[in-house]
Amino acid sequence: MDGDVGHFVLVPFPAQGHIIPMVDFGRVLAGRGMQVSLITTPFNLSRLQSTVDRIGKSGLSLDFISLKFPGKEVGLPKDCESVDVLPPSSDFERKTDFIVRFFKGVAMLAEPLEAYIRQNQQKNPNIPTIMITDFFNPWTRKISEKIGFPRFVFYSVCCYTLISDRIFSRGDLSGADDAISDLEVPRLTENMFFPLPEFEYMRSEVMDSDESADGILVNTFYELEPMFIERYRKMTGKKIWPVGPVSLCNKEIEDKAVRGSRSLVDDDKILDFLDSMAPKSVVYFSLGSMTMISVIQLKEIGKGLEAAGHPFIWVIRYDPDDPDDPDEVEEWLREDGLEERTKMRSLIIKGWAPQILILSHPSTGAFFTHCGWNSSLEGISFGVPMITWPCFADQFANGRFITEVAKIGVGIGVTEIIFLQNYTVECETIKKAVERMIDDGEEMRKRALDLSEAAKIAFDVGGSSHTNTSLFLQKSLTRVADS
Ligand code: UDP
């Protein structure tokens, strides 16, 4: 199959945690000489502009195709084209309603996507189409069946969590399921979807979509979780290719700096800060691209980070619809004086942070994370042990994987979904977790560094993920030839 070229149409679900790894994998495929088109929408494209420009300069054959998002048609305000920018609401039912409308809008991309693919096939009849779709886009199935091209599903979730969710969905909460009875693992029964009736329907759609796919690509690497990968293969009966950690395709500082979006804080300022700190001394605190927390909670985090006495980078996102005054955080930061008091050892980033630029710096010593899988795998890839604070969905299982399976992190004891909990994690808990990790985390750090080494070897030429990508390419191009 050497020398064969396919046109890979990548369809991420519109959320940062889904778009970012798909862009990375698009770079991997384009680097292997494939033609890649990544489907997006105008708002998401504008956020990605710095990444698009970088890729444009690199000469890779990776295009971004922007389809109009039918926000108006599903009753969403302008530019609500990504989960993190859905109208904020402290009312859970209202929030759920927005999410359901959003999923509906995403599924309506089917029509323009089909038109784009047909048009492209007319223009380039000799280049076969192959689709790689996010697992959250089960509606893509109909397009591939109608036109007739191979479709592969992409997960940026580890196999441990995928197994856990499958067992949960079967309703066997004993953990003694046949499929795992010989795996000595902690409670493998976590729901990776939201606990809502609407999502139960989504789960069955996702399962059907996986079932009919030509194979499944997973952003993990074999050496990280061999027994879970094997077990997931067995459970699904599908071809499973672990091809990650895809974030490792970002080799240059500039690629790391613009990944996903550009930060309002200058990269040089962040690097100067990290350069001025001792090796492995800085705590990086971020709860990802979607988690909204209350002003009260934010204050506790600030107090905890300050009290721990170690250098820190704190990424702040807060819910502007919080019942408290939305300007309260700004006001508190100014008036409390935390920023001023800690200025020699802290950097506060409001909004987007260049996460892998920070994690890959030798001064970063701990990652306080919400356990989104991309963040978790990035922590692993750069050898940074973690303090885990899962907030919702797959994050609880990912957190368990970090603390109880890989043993490269400590939890802070949160067991409930952040939107549903009515308690606040106190500053003392945050302080103690930081102290435990920075002062006593040597063993965990060593394990994290070993895994980081294994991740790099897996992703490099000749490593397991690199080989799996070759096998996937072979399979997808052969499947085209066969059809
Ligand atoms: N990210 C980033 N800067 C931020 C927040 C997030 O670069 O300020 C990236 C992060 O590196 C990861 C992705 O956004 O690749 C978030 O995905 P994850 O699965 O960790 O969590 P989610 O945001 O989907 O909850």
Q: Is the CB of 360 under 6 A from ligand 1?
A: no
Residues in the chain: 483
Query: Ligand 1 centroid to 376 CA: how many Å?
Result: 10
Q: Pocket of ligand 1, candidates 24, 374, 386: which has the most ligand atoms within 8 Å of its Cβ, to mutate?
A: 374
Q: Which residues pair with 153 in a beta bridge?
A: 133, 216
Half-sphere exposure of 413 (CA within 13 A, CB side): 9
Q: Which residue has the tokens 């003694």?
A: 176
Ligand 1 atom nearest to 371, measured from its CA: 20
Q: Whose CA is nearest to atom 16 of ligand 1?
A: 17
> Going by C-beta distance under 8 Å and a sequence separation of 6 or more, which residues neighbour residue 273?
313, 347
Q: Pocket of ligand 1, candidates 286, 289, 293, 384: which has the most ligand atoms within 8 Å of its Cβ, to mutate?
A: 289
Report residue 220 as tokens. Answer: 């993990």
Exposure of 45 by Cβ count < 10 A (0-12 exposed, 13-18 middle, 19+ buried)?
A: middle
Residues 390 and 475: their CA atoms lie apart, in Å, by 36
Q: Is the CB of 378 under 6 A from ligand 1?
A: yes
Q: What is the ipTM of this complex?
A: 0.99
pLDDT of residue 282: 97
pLDDT of residue 173: 46
Q: Is the CB of 353 under 6 A from ligand 1?
A: yes
Q: Is the CB of 30 under 6 A from ligand 1?
A: no
Domains (range + CATH), the chain: 7-248+460-482 (3.40.50.2000), 261-455 (3.40.50.2000)
Q: Is the CB of 374 under 6 A from ligand 1?
A: yes
Q: Is the CB of 352 under 6 A from ligand 1?
A: yes
Residues 365 and 31: their CA atoms lie apart, in Å, by 32
Residues 253 and 266: their CA atoms lie apart, in Å, by 13
Query: Ligand 1 centroid to 353 CA: how many Å?
Result: 9
Query: Ligand 1 centroid to 260 CA: how many Å?
Result: 8
Q: Is the CB of 372 under 6 A from ligand 1?
A: yes
pLDDT of residue 325: 54
Ligand 1 atom nearest to 261, measured from its CA: 7
How far lies 430's CA from each of 151, 280, 363, 420, 460, in Å? 44, 18, 20, 20, 37
Residues 363 and 357: their CA atoms lie apart, in Å, by 11
Answer for the pair 219, 247: CB distance below 8 angstroms, yes or no. no
Answer for the pair 221, 245: CB distance below 8 angstroms, yes or no. yes
Ligand 1 atom nearest to 352, measured from its CA: 8
Report residue 206 as tokens. Answer: 């996702």
CA 144 from centroid of its chain's CA atoms: 25
**Residue 405 has what DSSP assignment?**
I
Answer for the pair 392, 419: CB distance below 8 angstroms, yes or no. yes
Query: Ligand 1 centroid to 372 CA: how many Å?
Result: 7
> Going by C-beta distance under 8 Å and a sequence separation of 6 or more, which residues neighbour residue 361?
271, 274, 282
Q: Is the CB of 51 under 6 A from ligand 1?
A: no
Answer for the pair 202, 103: CB distance below 8 angstroms, yes or no. yes
Ligand 1 atom nearest to 247, measured from its CA: 15
Q: Is the CB of 82 under 6 A from ligand 1?
A: no
- Calculate Rg over the CA atoms of the chain: 22
Task: Indicate the angle between helix axes 226-236 and 159-169, nearest 10 degrees.
Answer: 40
Residues 280 and 266: their CA atoms lie apart, in Å, by 22
Residues 106 and 41: their CA atoms lie apart, in Å, by 10
pLDDT of residue 141: 97
Q: Whose CA is nearest to atom 17 of ligand 1?
A: 17
Q: Pocket of ligand 1, candidates 287, 359, 360, 375: which has the most ligand atoms within 8 Å of its Cβ, to mutate?
A: 375
Q: Which residues of the chain are under the pLDDT cut of 70? A: 1-3, 88-90, 170-195, 318-326, 418-422, 480-483
Q: Is the CB of 399 under 6 A from ligand 1?
A: no
Reference 438, options 279, 281, 306; nearest CA is 281
Reference 408, options 439, 443, 433; nearest CA is 443
Q: Is the CB of 315 under 6 A from ligand 1?
A: yes
Q: Is the CB of 219 under 6 A from ligand 1?
A: no
Q: Whose CA is nearest to atom 23 of ligand 1?
A: 289
Q: Is the CB of 373 under 6 A from ligand 1?
A: yes
